[in-house]
Structure formats: C-alpha cells, structure tokens
C-alpha cells in the first residue's frame, strides 16, 4: 500500500471558540440548571443521582440504586506508584491501608454554584499568645474572600469597583455575597457582556444586573437604582461578588439564617443556592424570592483540519479481495525456487449498466470508503470513515476534508 504525504497547505490547525449558555434558576433551596426539570427513573428518584442544579462529571450511574441496580465505583490498589484518590489523606493512605489493599471511591461526582453570605468579609479575630505575650490575628473567617483579595486588586486597573479598598468603600468591612461558579459550567472563562442576574419577588422582576460595560462591573439595568454598580465579576475565575445593599422594593423578606427580615437587596441574591438557607432556617416568606443567573461561557477547542487528496490517475486500485474477479489463480508459478504471482488477474467491472443483460464497458474505478492517517513512522494513528463510499473514477480529482477535535 502506498502512502501519500500531506503537503504544507494540507494541514491547518485552528481554534474553535464556542459560547455555551448557562442559566441557573434558584427557588426554595433548589437550583434548576438550564431549565432542566428533575427526571425520575425506574430505580432512582433522580436519574443522574445528583442533587438538582448540579452537573455530573462523567454522567455515569444513570438510574442506579443500591442493591437493585448497583452503582459503578472506582477503585485503586495500593502499590509502589503511591497513587490514591484525593479524598484519601496521606495519613490515611499510610496508616489505614497495607500494600495490595483496595482503596475505593464513589461516583457520581458533581458540581454546582455555591453562594456565601459574608458579613464584614475581612473579619479576623484577635488571639493572644501566652508564651510570647503578643496578640495575633487568627485565620480569616471568610477564607474564600481572603483568597480573592489579590485577584480583586489585580483587576483594579479594569475598574475601581474591583479594588478591596477604594473610594467606593473597603470590602473588608462590607457585607459581600459571593457566588462561586465551577469552571465545568463555563470552560475557560465567562464571556464579558453576557452576565445577567435577575431578582424576582413573588414572581415579579424587581431588579436586574448586567455587565453592560464588559469590564466586570455589574450594573443595575432594572430596579430602584438604575446605573449603580452592585458588584463585580471575575470572568476567568468564575466568581461574582455582590455588595449592593440598597432596597430593591419596600417589601420585607427573610433570607438570612436566623436573621431578621429585610428589604430585597443584591446581597441576598441567590439565597438557597447550596448555602444552607432554607425556609425553616430563614423564615416563612423565604419562598417569595427567586433568582435567575445566566451567562455564556467560553470554550476553546483546537481543531486539526487535514486535506487528503486523491488525484486523477492515482488511488485507482483496491487491495480488497473483491476488487478482482472471483476464482482466479493468485499464483502463476510456485516451486522451491520461484514464487510468481499471476500478473494477468482481471479486475471486477463495477461500472453500472443502464440496460438489462448488458454489461457496461470496463472502466477503472474504485469506491473510497475510508481514509487512514499515519504518522511519520508509518504507524496508523487514525481512520476516517465516510458515511457512504465515494466513487473515484480514473480522471477525477477528489479531496477529503478531515477534521479532528484535539
């Protein structure tokens, strides 16, 4: 079999950028992702076996239930490589397992958005060291905010509203509503200009934030304070920090665990999104609030495009045994000294005739059904199969465009 080499213009590598839309609707402690309702199965109340609003990592364990339709689970054997699951600590790995033991984990793994309500986000208690007789600051109460402080200042060049401390106030002393979005939902970043946060009170829209300037500022486009910035978004990291504490209407609602009722505000946006706030812990009218968070992500896929050419006068022969007329002798002469193949074997005529009992005149033609890709060492590395075989006549030029997502 002869191989054809790709020319310098036959291979193109480019990047395909896509923007998957994500929408989360939060109501009564439940999150609805892309308006997909919960689906019940024959064995399990939830087909994916994950909480609502979550995305399943491998989408394994569909409609599974213990005993009746057992779960798929991963396991690993403790051996020299020292590999384990991240849920097993180094100490547990060393002390609880001996060589050859099986370490198990579980599926499904899932992710969803999380909300954190942080009063005085920069709070750090003061401790006292009796030995040195010096006071010291303890670990921050809200570590997630602390971890983001450098990043917020870094984006300060984009907008003053990002800065931890600026003319707009000091975030350390403010109440911050932090919404964390796992990257599985958006890819490499949130597309600037696509963020929309809607606050509904008893089903009516009372406020909407959008990043209309595409610089991360979340600006109220609907509500009582249109044009004001209620927070910022970290597009690449997947975080939204809301600090807007003005009333969106004159009603009162309980959205804080054990707290008193307050007006609807942006700092309460997303209450119930994996933050332990429920009707029981907050208050009876908690269910009057619902929230909608939508954005578009950015995914980048490298695409390798290859053009395989079947030029006229080439690729006109097949090694498929059915290419030759059946029952012809393969060998002409064979002995202990000679092995000579039959050089006059006839090719089967595949030219279609338009008439009954009439064979069309022979023409050299093949049907191309697949294109194989080899590396420089002639190792087969991929096969592209065509949905229907393509007729290639001797005087035809054909080019096959093969695309491979990397």
> Which residues contact other proteins by CB under 8 A?
39, 41-43, 47-48, 59-60, 62-63, 68-77, 79-83
Compute the least distance from the CB of residue 91 to other proteins, in Å.
14
DSSP 346: P
Nearest to other proteins of 60, 168 (CB atom) = 60
Beta carbon of residue 109, minimum distance to other proteins (angstroms, whole number): 13
CB 274 within 8 A of CB 286: no
Q: Using the 8-state DSSP alphabet, how is residue 99 labeled?
A: T
Biggest CA–CA distance in the chain, Å, is 110
Smallest separation (angstroms) from other proteins to the CB of 235 = 21
- Of the candidates 190, 228, 192, which has an alpha carbon nearest to the alpha carbon of residue 209? 228
Q: What is the DSSP string of 111-165?
A: E--EEEEESSTT---EEEETTTTEEEE---S-HHHHHHHHHHHHGGGT-GGGSSE
How far apart are CB 343 and other proteins at their closest, in Å? 20
Tell me how far, at minimum, the Cβ of 61 lies from other proteins, in Å: 9
What spatial distance separates the first Cα and last Cα of the chain, rounded to whole Å?
28
Let me know the angle formed at the C-alpha of 218 by 217 and 223, rounded to the nearest 5 degrees.
Answer: 145
> Cβ closer to other proteins: 61 or 174?
61
Cα–Cα distance measured from residue 211 to residue 161, given in angstroms and rounded to the nearest whole number: 13
Residues forming beta bridges with residue 14, ordered by sequence position = 303
The smaller minimum CB distance to other proteins, of residues 51 and 74, is found at 74
Nearer to other proteins by C-beta: 44 or 177?
44
When the beta carbons of 42 and 406 are compared against other proteins, the nearer one is 42
Nearer to other proteins, 17 or 21 (CB): 21
* 323's tokens: 């290419």
Task: Name which of 71 and 168 has its Cβ closer to other proteins.
Answer: 71
> Least distance in Å: CB of 83 to other proteins?
4
Q: Which two tokens stand for residue 331?
A: 């060998």
Q: Considering the complex, state which of residue 59 and residue 170 has its C-beta at the smaller distance from other proteins.
A: 59
CB 190 within 8 A of CB 210: no
Q: Which residues pair with 229 in a beta bridge?
A: 219
**To the nearest whole angstrom, how small is the minimum distance from the Cβ of residue 159 to other proteins?**
22
* Contact call for residues 195 and 128 (beta carbons, < 8 A): no
The dihedrals phi and psi of 358, each to the nearest 5 degrees, come to -140, 125
Least distance from other proteins to the Cβ atom of residue 210, Å: 30
- Measured CA distances, 133 to 20, 136, 306 (Å): 56, 10, 72
The CB-of-80 to other proteins minimum distance in angstroms stands at: 7
**CB-nearer residue toward other proteins: 78 or 198:** 78
Closest CB 187 distance from other proteins, rounded Å? 19
Closer to other proteins by Cβ: residue 49 or 194: 49
180 CB contacts (<8 Å, ≥6 apart)? 113, 114, 115, 116, 144, 238, 239
Of 120, 292, 152, the residue nearest 217 (C-alpha): 152
| Contact indicator for 125, 137 with CB cutoff of 8 Å | yes
């Amino acid at each position: 079999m002869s191989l054809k080499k790709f020319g310098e213009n036959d291979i193109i590598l480019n990047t395909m950028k896509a923007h998957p839309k994500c929408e989360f609707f939060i109501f009564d402690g439940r999150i609805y992702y892309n308006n997909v309702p919960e689906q019940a199965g024959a064995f399990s109340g939830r087909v994916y076996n994950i909480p609502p609003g979550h995305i399943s990592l491998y989408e394994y364990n569909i409609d599974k239930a213990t005993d009746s339709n057992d779960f798929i689970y991963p396991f690993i054997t403790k051996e020299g490589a020292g590999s384990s699951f991240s849920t097993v600590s180094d100490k547990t790995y060393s002390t609880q397992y001996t060589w050859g033991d099986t370490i198990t984990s579980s599926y499904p793994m899932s992710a969803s958005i999380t909300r954190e309500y942080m009063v005085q986000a920069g709070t750090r208690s003061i401790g006292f060291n009796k030995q040195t007789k010096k006071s010291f600051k303890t670990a921050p109460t809200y570590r997630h905010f602390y971890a983001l402080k450098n990043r917020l200042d870094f984006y300060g060049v984009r907008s003053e509203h990002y800065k931890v401390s600026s003319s707009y106030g000091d975030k350390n002393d403010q109440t911050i509503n932090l919404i964390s979005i796992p990257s599985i939902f958006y890819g490499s970043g949130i597309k600037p200009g696509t963020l929309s946060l809607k606050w509904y009170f008893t089903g009516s829209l009372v406020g909407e934030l959008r990043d209309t300037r595409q610089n991360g500022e979340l600006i109220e486009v609907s509500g009582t304070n249109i044009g004001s910035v209620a927070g910022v978004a970290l597009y690449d990291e997947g975080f939204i920090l809301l600090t807007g504490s003005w009333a969106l209407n004159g009603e009162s609602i309980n959205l804080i665990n054990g707290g008193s009722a307050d007006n609807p505000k942006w700092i309460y946006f997303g209450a119930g999104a994996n933050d332990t706030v429920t009707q029981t812990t907050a208050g009876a009218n908690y269910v009057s609030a619902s929230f909608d968070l939508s954005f578009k992500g950015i995914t980048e896929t490298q695409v390798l495009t290859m053009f395989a050419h079947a030029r006229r006068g080439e690729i006109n022969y097949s090694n498929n045994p059915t290419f030759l007329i059946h029952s012809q002798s393969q060998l002409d002469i064979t002995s202990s000294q000679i092995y000579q193949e039959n050089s006059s074997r006839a090719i089967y005529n595949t030219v279609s005739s338009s008439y009954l009992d009439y064979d069309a005149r022979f023409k050299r033609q093949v049907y191309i059904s697949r294109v194989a890709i080899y590396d420089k060492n002639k190792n087969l590395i991929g096969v592209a199969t065509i949905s229907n075989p393509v007729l290639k006549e001797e005087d035809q030029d054909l080019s096959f465009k093969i695309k491979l997502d990397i």
